[in-house]
Amino acid sequence: MKIDLIVGARPNYMKAAPVYRALKKYPAKFHVRLVHTGQHYDEKMSHIFFRELELPQPDVYLGVGSGRHGEQTGKIMIEYEKAVLSDKPNVVLVAGDVNSTMACSLVAAKLHIKVGHIEGGLRSGDWSMPEEINRIVTDRIADYLFTTSKDADENLLAEGVPPDKIFLVGNTMIDSLNYYLPKAQQLNLDGKYPFNSSTLSRPIEKNGFILVTLHRPSNVDDGQTLQALIKVLCQIQERIPVIFPMHPRTRKMLSEFGLNGMLESARNLIITEPLGYLEFLKLEANAFLVLTDSGGIQEETTVLGIPCLTLRENTERPITIWEGTNELVGSNPQKVLERTYAILNGERKTGKVPQYWDGHAAERIVEVLLSKL
């Protein structure tokens, strides 16, 4: 069976790496072609992840780069169709909800190639999110829907997806976390994080800081919202150091809105460039609390047992709230501040690891594919 495994943006790499390893255990059964669309293409957003996740150089690199959603999706489809026509796979495996996920699925479906969606069935109910559209379109045309939790199964069944297309396998993101966490914990990050001309002189101590990620348009593309959230971070850093690996989009918008001056006196707010996977995982595992608008971080903190405040009005991963350590707080600065201070004062939410988030999801995916041979 010839399989194209698609990666394009940071979250894809952690989801795809364990699947690639599991497939390579059966060289007589699977011929795997690793296809990188180039949706994320700079060093910190892409190539370093290949090294850290022990992935080989892609067999196919489409090099589409950035652009508006329609432009980027169209470029991926044009270039991936060429790659498929030159060497047609039996199955195309896509992960997550980025433009690469939907674009490659559409190409495969139009050429009558089976599509497998890793992380199928997730729904936020928010159609203003491009990711929600990507998820729904991909699930509608996929032949194999590999789900992370029972609520994802229920979403798909409610939408009319036949039960024989749905496979509850667990979470390949957690496969990567379990596999790489020991290596990440061995990293020495002391004094590594620059803020202006200074560095974080104190050691990275367990529970000694709050970790922040912020990149979604709803939070960073509106000047008032971004200003309010930065003000909250400046208040929080007065009580505990805050480490903030800053997404290029966020850095750009801070500059456009003239908000960089707010950071100058916040000496415990440590701004860094985007981090590699292992560096970020080390920080995440040792944080007292994580503030984020990311999707996968909600899952990782649940497994790590780290409190997580999600700065969004909804989530496609509600199991991290029902069973995990995650709480939705939106972007209301007062609510973010109140819950942060409550957790600092000991009101920590406890949770449990969801079913099948055990490090073996990729193996279950391969078992399904083997059964289809």
Domains of the chain (ranges plus CATH)?
A: 2-171+357-372 (3.40.50.2000), 181-344 (3.40.50.2000)
| Strand 31-36 relative to strand 2-7, pairing | parallel
Supply the pTM of this predicted model: 0.93
Of the listed ranges 127-131, 203-207, 264-268, the least confidently predicted one is 203-207
| Strand 91-95 relative to strand 60-61, pairing | unpaired
Determine which one of 117, 215, 247, 360 is catalytic: 215
Give the SS3 label for residue 349: coil
Average pLDDT (108-133) is: 97
Residue 143 tokens read as 């032949």
Residue 148 clears pLDDT 60, i.e. is over it: yes
Q: Is 360 a catalytic residue?
A: no
pLDDT at 190: 65
Residue 60 clears pLDDT 90, i.e. is over it: yes
Tokens 């990507």 belong to residue: 134
pLDDT at 353: 97
Residue 125 tokens read as 């109910």
**What are the CA-CA distances from residue 157 to residues 147, 195, 372 (Å)?**
12, 49, 21
Average pLDDT, the chain: 92
pLDDT at 197: 34
Q: What's the start-to-end Cα distance of the chain, in Å?
A: 7
Condensed to tens digits (0 to 9), the pLDDT of residues 278-311 reads 999 999 999 999 999 999 999 999 999 999 999 9
Q: Which of 15-19, 43-47, 277-281 has the highest mean pLDDT?
A: 15-19
Condensed to tens digits (0 to 9), the pLDDT of residues 185-194 reads 998 876 565 4
pLDDT at 196: 39
Please check whether residue 277 is in contact with residue 13, taking contact to mean a CB–CB distance below 8 angstroms: yes
